[in-house]
Structure 1
């Protein structure tokens, strides 16, 4: 049963292909169940479409015949009963008649009656109102989009200005930071140089027999813990305030330093002078 169905489909497909290609040879194709089913469906759709087109053509021919009969009838009425013919019309009348026919064709009316023209004009008016309403909606939407676009452009401009100011500020701060870095490096280098020079001087003084308590670091330590002044109290540094029964200014007394044991023989000053 299935083989008979396949054979029947193949027969219909072959007939359809011969009808399509006519005198031309049919292209070669692989004959199997899948290709036969596809070609069979195409043949059915094509034949159904041909039938629809044939019915449409037949309907149009029938309407054309009816219009021709009606036109002949109206022509007979105009010519035989009313004695009216195209030859009796003036050129202006023929022009009006042609305009009437062209208008009816443009409006796609079934005839040139006033009712048909009124219906067609009403339909066109409705379409026009719908289009105008749609245009107004689009104009409102376009206005809204323009406002949003303007706001976005202004925001972009402000952001660009802010970005420019920020970049300028960063450049200034970068220059300041670079200057501070250079100054800091200079101070560090200078501090290291001073440390080296102080250490060299201390080593030179130590070589001459200077008491280690008179070195720079020892004096700094003594200034931090406080030195005895002339009246037996302590002062925490040169030119700094100290508590002597109340707050008053005092200067570092060098008597304490003078009382330090000096090396025997020549004084430090004499040794330095030598």
Structure 2
């Protein structure tokens, strides 16, 4: 089995070498790497080339045969003309020869079987129909081309607008990115400061606690006392108005004296409490 494969490979190499020598002739054959793959590819190409050469040879032989038949038919027709009317193309004038050549060329161009009027008229009609169809197709292509040009213009305008919008968006994004970076830096700075203040407050609280500071004097306690002070001041307003109303009454020495004393005591109590709170806040 291996021997048969080796013999087949050698046979293919020999066929490839013979084909390359035939192709390049007296010219040197280009160097190539001889291996099973390249041999298989070149052998396949040689087979395709051989089949193509055979087909071309058959077409050439067929054309030669047809040319020979046409020559025989032409000679027969020429002899027939000479026998019947003693006419030969050689006896024509130059103008007649030109007309005859033009007639033959027209028949070849129109692909008619002969130069009779019955053959020319359908051929010309077909050619005219083809011309009209071609013109109609050209008009359709022009309309389609105009539409494409219009769409292309709109697309180019849209592309330009999109590019401008993209530039604006990139510029805006760059600006916003710079703002975000700045805010992040500020945030980091504020975080650091906040941590620094927190540590400072904690250290101050520890120092004050170590020194025996009363918790009632802390910031929160003072804020609460300030709110209470404001509330007490608000409560004294109606009492003062009430006292003023008493002062406007006709004096009844005994009753007025009692009311005045009660109001004074109540006002003194509130003022004393207020003074105490203020003194504590000032500490």
Report the TM-score when normalising by structure 2.
0.52
Cα distance change, pair 217–71 in 1 and its aligned pair in 2 (3 A):
same
Is 2:107–2:114's contact at 8 Å kept on the other side of the alignment? Answer: yes
Whole-angstrom distance in 2 between the partners of 1:162 and 1:244: 66
Tell whether the 8 Å contact from 1:202 to 1:215 is kept in structure 2 after alignment.
Answer: no
What is the CA–CA distance in structure 1 between the aligned matches of 2:206 and 2:277, rounded to whole Å? Answer: 20
Deviations 1:231-263 (A, max 9, x none): 93269xxxxxxx956xxxxxxx9944454499x
Are 1:180 and 2:179 counterparts? no
- Measure, in 1, the Cα distance between the counterparts of 2:191 and 2:276: 34
Alpha-carbon separation, structure 1, partners of 2:276 and 2:154? 80
Equivalent residue for 1:154?
A: 157
Q: What is the CA–CA distance in structure 2 between the aligned matches of 1:192 and 1:66, rounded to whole Å?
A: 116
Aligned counterpart, 2:233: 233
Bigger share in helix: 2
Change (3 A) 1:255 1:208: farther
Query: Match of 1:110, SS?
Result: coil
Partner of 2:169: 166
Contact 2:229–2:277 (CA under 8 A) maintained in structure 1 = no
Equivalent position of 1:125 in the other structure: 128
**Structure 1 residue 200: deviation in Å?**
2.7
Instruction: State the partner residue of 1:46.
Output: none
Structure-2 separation of matches of 1:182 and 1:222: 39
Gaps of 5+ in 1: 1-53, 236-242, 246-252, 263-267, 269-274
Q: Distance in 2 between matches of 1:234 and 1:186?
A: 43
Considering Cα pairs closer than 8 Å and 6+ residues apart, tell me whether 1 or 2 has the greater RCO.
2
Structure 2: runs of 5+ lacking an equivalent:
1-61, 239-272
Displacement of 1:173 in angstroms is: 1.6
SS in 2 for 1:228: helix
Partner of 2:112: helix, strand, or coil?
A: coil
Superposed CA deviations along residues 169-194 of structure 1, whole A, max 9, x for unmatched, are 22222221222222223223223322
Cα distance in 1 for residues equivalent to 2:79 and 2:112 = 19
- Offset at 1:215? 1.8
Tell me the alpha carbon deviations over residues 108-135 of structure 1, each in whole angstroms, 9 at most, x when there is no partner.
2333334433332222111111112122
Does the 8 Å contact 1:227/1:234 carry over to 2? no
Q: What is the TM-score of this pair, normalised by structure 1?
A: 0.53
| 1:220-259 map, 5 Å | 220-223=223-226, 226-229=227-230, 232-233=232-233, 255-259=275-279
Residues 164-220 of structure 1, C-alpha deviations (whole Å, 9 max, x = no match) = 322222222222122222222322322332233233334333444432211223224
Q: Give the corresponding residue for 1:49.
A: none
Contact 1:100–1:112 (Cα < 8 Å) also in 2: yes
CA distance 1:178–1:189, shift in 2 (3 Å): same
- 1:14 equivalent in structure 2: none
Structure 2 Cα separation of the partners of residues 150 and 156 of structure 1:
10
| Residue of structure 1 equivalent to 2:84 | 77
> Which residue in the other structure is 1:51 paired with?
none
Q: CA RMSD in A?
A: 3.9
